[in-house]
Amino acid sequence: MGRSKRKDEVSYDEFVSVAFDLEALKRLLIDKGVFSEEEFHAQTKKMLAEAEHEDGDRTIESLLKDAKRSEPARLIKAARKELSRKLERRDRRGAAGVYAKLGGLHIDSGEYEQAQACYEQALVLYRRLRESGNAAAMLASMASVELCREQYARAERYAKEGITIFKRLGQQEAVAGALHQLAMIAEGREDLSGAAKLYEECLATWRRLQNDDGVLAALRPLADLAAGARETIRARQMYREALGLSRKLGDEDMAADILKQLGKLK
């Protein structure tokens, strides 16, 4: 007679059905040639066998964390292969797109230097192709990397260069995103009045575009800045508007956090 299944055990089928949408992940890895279907199933079963061998010391949650940590590395490897093919074919546009994708994957892995190198390569190619919009997008990505590294001068330079191009092209959503970046840079430098002005400009742009997600993204830091400056009435008004939008958009976590901030106002 086989041993009875403990209540907290997860079968292979159950694991596949719930693990961060593993079916979608499986299809992605197989389509990209990282794994064959047989290799994917073998790897997943191996992970579960390791968990059982360790007598329950590792939970399914820890396995998922391990998988998430290893996943960017696998995708980077696949993207590097794709990049080699694009470069061999002298497909500059395709190579630029892969460089941009690689930049995002390196950011997911916390590898900011490698991410920046990829974005710089993509920028060079897009400039040679005279694709201004894509070049500006790379500048925005480079600004984000420098913001993460707290290199505010470089972040500001890239963001300002990008926003100039976005304005010339009339890409208002991208302009709003760049304004938000500049506000975050100012906030990082502890220039709170400068940050507030930039968030206000960003907010006005999103309102003109009737973009609720953008309005919420700008309102929240503005409310926080007002609360920090003890502008209680203004902070309360913005928090309440943000609360209504977060509920409208179905963002319950944001709504709960805003309610908590409202409760702190005196």
pLDDT in tens, the chain (266 residues): 444 434 334 344 444 443 445 555 556 555 656 566 676 666 666 665 555 444 444 454 555 555 555 567 788 888 889 999 999 999 999 999 999 999 999 998 889 999 999 999 999 999 999 999 999 999 999 999 999 999 999 999 999 999 999 999 999 999 999 999 999 999 999 999 999 999 999 999 999 999 999 999 999 999 999 999 999 999 999 999 999 999 999 999 999 999 999 999 97
pTM over 0.75: no
Residue 221 region, left (φ>0) first, then alpha (ψ -120 to 50), else beta?
alpha
| Measured distance CA(235)–CA(44) in Å, rounded | 49
The answer to whether residues 28 and 73 touch, using CB atoms and an 8 Å cutoff, is: no
The answer to whether residues 216 and 239 touch, using CB atoms and an 8 Å cutoff, is: no
Helix (H, G, I), strand (E, B) or coil at 48: helix
The answer to whether residues 219 and 203 touch, using CB atoms and an 8 Å cutoff, is: yes
* Two structure tokens written together for 135: 């070049």
DSSP state of 5: P
The answer to whether residues 37 and 30 touch, using CB atoms and an 8 Å cutoff, is: yes
The distance of Cα 78 from the centroid of its chain, to the nearest Å, equals 20
